[in-house]
Amino acid sequence: MSNDNSTAESAAKTSNFIHQIIEDDLKSADAPKQIVTRFPPEPNGYLHIGHAKSICLNFGTAEKFNGVCNLRFDDTNPEKESQEYIEAIKRDIRWLGFTWHEDVRYTSSYFDQLYNWAVYLIEKGNAYVCDLNAEQARAYRGDFTTPGKNSPYRDRSISENLTLFAKMKAGGFAEGFCSLRAKIDMQSSNMNLRDPMLYRILNVSHHQTGDQWCIYPIYDFAHGQSDAIEGITHSICTLEFEGHRPLYEWFLEHLPVASTPRQYEFSRLELNYTVTSKRKLKQLVDKGIVNGWDDPRMPTISGMRRRGYTATAIRKFCDMVGVTRSNGVVDVGMLESAVREDLEVNAKRAMCVIDPLKVTLSNVAEGASEMLSLAVHPKLDMGERELPFSKYLYIEKQDFSEDTSLGRKKFKRLVIGDYVRLRGAYVIKAEQVIKDDSGQIIEVIASIVPGTVGANPAPEFKPRGVIHWVSACHAVPCELRIYDRLFSDATPDKNKEKPFTELINPDSLQVIPRAWAEPSLLKAEIESGYQFERTGYFVADADSTPEQLVFNQTLPLRESKAK
């Protein structure tokens, strides 16, 4: 009976099929002493939401089974890589709340070993130097309906291949002149096994090794062997690498590696209204369509962080999406919902008037002011914030109407001759309006109902509703950046009629150069999130200065019905 209960408890803890595989492995006779996973990004761009899922899976799996997760940069393509990307990736992983095992690792640290293993394959007759250029190699490779044919250089002797490969390493050939290929099977139905390239000549300085190398290993050759060097037990990657698994295993089988990791694949995260190709994201940056990799409209982790998305919400979203082998597109609204849910609970509260209408309180003395106190959060103990109250206020224009026929259920704001509650302050009554020469309302004359701060008014002063406000004499000017989805098309990278760069939403960024915020926001820390009451969720941006506060809208308070 106890064994049955234990099995049931274990099954209940299993959250995905990879965890079930690991649980089964741990029960086997040759169970690993410790689960070791890895996250192996290529440092050729900033991480995006798809990488967040992989980070949560690899680091989370290690945590679940009391194992460790390595951070290893797959830096085999120095043409597109940089230290900037390396530092950004490390920041993103830390921000998501994960810690990698020991020091950061680099595939480039294994270049000597990988080179020696390439020599080993040549010595065993399993690799050869091929002089076909890229176009010729593609023609010889065939396609899914046409078998490949052997390279004319495939039967070079072992001694000749060793000499040629050493010459490649010494810089004796021009870039692209030749390559090292594995000798597997040009007739294979798996294109990845048709004598894949192992090394190519690349006269590019490397961000870690400098000018030490002029030949660089291909990802497929470097990846599995790097896993083996690090003792990775479960090499978890996305489904597009499923066809590469036989090659991954072929290398491990034909090389004298100390350990034999296993590769497992899961479906990558695809969102609608989003592109996650780093190549395409780089185009957006390079063409100035967005303002850098951390533009709040970008699906990068840095961009979402700058927009005010929280690490907690992103991790919860990745958990909600789950880990399966079924490809599909997830509605970006699910991510936005996870963010709203987190911010509703945890964001500080503040008031900011975007489209101001002046209110003058007739029964408040000129120059008089009163300091009111309001909770930073209605449910959490985050302390109090002070709100100056004066004769002159700003409210939102949309919060006032002179149409006295509006019923209280239809319009719960301020109407001439009626009452409304100012958040955390008095109940006021609108008495008259002042208009400019064009007939536009520019000011409302109102009066306070004394004794109504923190207290219910008498029944005859019952307010229609509650509106936000700021003291016009004390309000702080700020710039608001209102963000929407970057693309107007739900599948921007799959549209066959237009390139994705022509599907940009023209309203993805709207700047409100001057709104009016309560003075407590002068102390807002960068990346500190707020719910601007009745307006939306906002975050203090790094562009803020003491003279000019800048807030990015994270999301509206609720999803638009139009979406």
CATH number of the domain bearing residue 429: 2.40.240.10
d(CA 44, CA 19): 30
Task: Classify residue 491 as exposed, middle or buried by CB count within 10 Å of its CB (0-12, 13-18, 19+).
Answer: middle
Q: Estimate the crossing angle of helix 83-96 against helix 49-64, to 10 degrees.
A: 60
Is 430 found in the same domain as 282?
no
Q: Which of 268, 280, 397, 412 is catalytic?
A: 268
Question: Does residue 42 have an active-site annotation?
Answer: yes
Same domain, 99 and 45: yes
**What residues make up the domain containing 500?**
271-348+479-556
Residues 113 and 141 in one domain: yes
Task: Please give the single-letter amino acid code of residue 181.
Answer: R
Place of tokens 């089964």: 24
Q: Is residue 474 part of a domain?
A: no
- 278 as an active site residue: the answer is yes
User: Which amino acid, 540?
Assistant: A
d(CA 40, CA 58): 10
* Residues paired with 235 in a beta bridge: 263
Is the torsion defined by CA of 497, 240, 196, 214 positive or negative?
Answer: positive
Does some domain include residue 207?
yes
DSSP 445-472: EEEEETT-TTSPPPGGG--S-EE--EET
At 6 the pLDDT is 40
What confidence tens digit (pLDDT) does each residue in 347-368 have?
999 999 999 999 999 999 999 9
- Are the C-beta atoms of residues 452 and 438 closer than 8 Å to each other? no
DSSP helix/strand/coil, 208: coil
473 within domain boundaries = no
Cβ-based neighbour number of residue 340 at 10 Å:
22
Q: Are residues 401 and 545 in the same domain?
A: no
CB 175, CB 213: distance < 8 Å? no
**268: nearest Cα among 444, 463, 53:** 53
- Strand 215-217 relative to strand 197-201: parallel, antiparallel, unpaired? antiparallel
Say whether both 90 and 133 belong to one domain.
Answer: yes
Terminal-residue alpha carbon distance, the chain: 52
561 assigned to some structural domain: no
154 and 203 part of one domain = yes
Q: Same domain for 419 and 286?
A: no
Residue with tokens 């998501």: 96
SS3 state of residue 195: coil
Q: Do 53 and 192 have their domain in common?
A: yes
Q: What is the pLDDT, as a whole number, of residue 561?
A: 56
Residue 325: active-site member: no
Q: Which two tokens stand for residue 105?
A: 């690792």
pLDDT single digits (tens) 174-205: 999 999 999 999 999 999 999 999 999 999 99
Distance CA 175, CA 255 (A): 27
**Which of 53, 200, 278, 316 is the catalytic position?**
278
- In sequence order, what E strands does 285-391 have? 329-330, 348-350, 352-353, 356-361, 369-375, 384-390
Residue 511 lies in a domain: yes
The total of other beta-carbon atoms located within 10 Å of residue 462's CB is 13
For residues 14-33, one letter each, b for 16 or more C-beta atoms within 10 angstroms of the residue's C-beta and e for the rest, the string is eebebbeebbebeeeeeebe
**pTM for the complete prediction?**
0.93
The helix (H) or strand (E) run that includes residue 512 is strand 509-517
Does 96 share its domain with 190? yes
**Dihedral sign of CA atoms 423, 429, 435, 440 in order:** positive
DSSP string across 259-307: ---EEEEEPPPEETT----HHHHHHHHHTTSSSSTT-TTS-BHHHHHHH
Tally of structural domains, the chain:
4
Boundary-marking domain end, from 432, 449, 468: 468
For residue 15, the model assigns a pLDDT of: 75
What pLDDT sits at residue 312? 98
The answer to whether residue 545 is domain-embedded is yes
Residue 79 and residue 140 share a domain: yes
Per the listing, tokens 């990736």 go with 89
CA angle 225, 229, 234 (to 5 degrees): 75
Q: Taking the C-alpha atoms of 170, 171, 177 and 180 in order, what is their torsion angle to the nearest 10 degrees?
A: 30
| Domain final residue, candidates 433, 468, 503 | 468
pLDDT for res 495: 80
CA–CA separation, 122 and 213 (whole Å): 19
For 297-316, write each residue's pLDDT tens digit: 999 999 999 999 999 999 99
Assigned domain for 562 exists = no
d(CA 552, CA 537) in angstroms, rounded, equals 9
Q: What's the rounded Cα separation, in Å, for the pair 82 and 295?
A: 19
Query: Does some domain include residue 259?
Result: yes
Please give the full DSSP string across 166-188, using - where no structure is assigned: HHHHTT-S-TTS-EEEE-S-TT-
Rounded distance, CA 390 to CA 395, Å? 13
Q: Are 287 and 383 in a shared domain?
A: no
Token pair of 187, please? 């007739």
Please state, rounded to an integer, the average pLDDT across all residues of the chain. 95
Given a cut of 70, the residues of the chain with pLDDT beneath it are: 1-14, 560-563
Dist CA 469 CA 482 (whole Å): 20
Instruction: Give the domain-ending residue among 445, 468, 491.
Output: 468
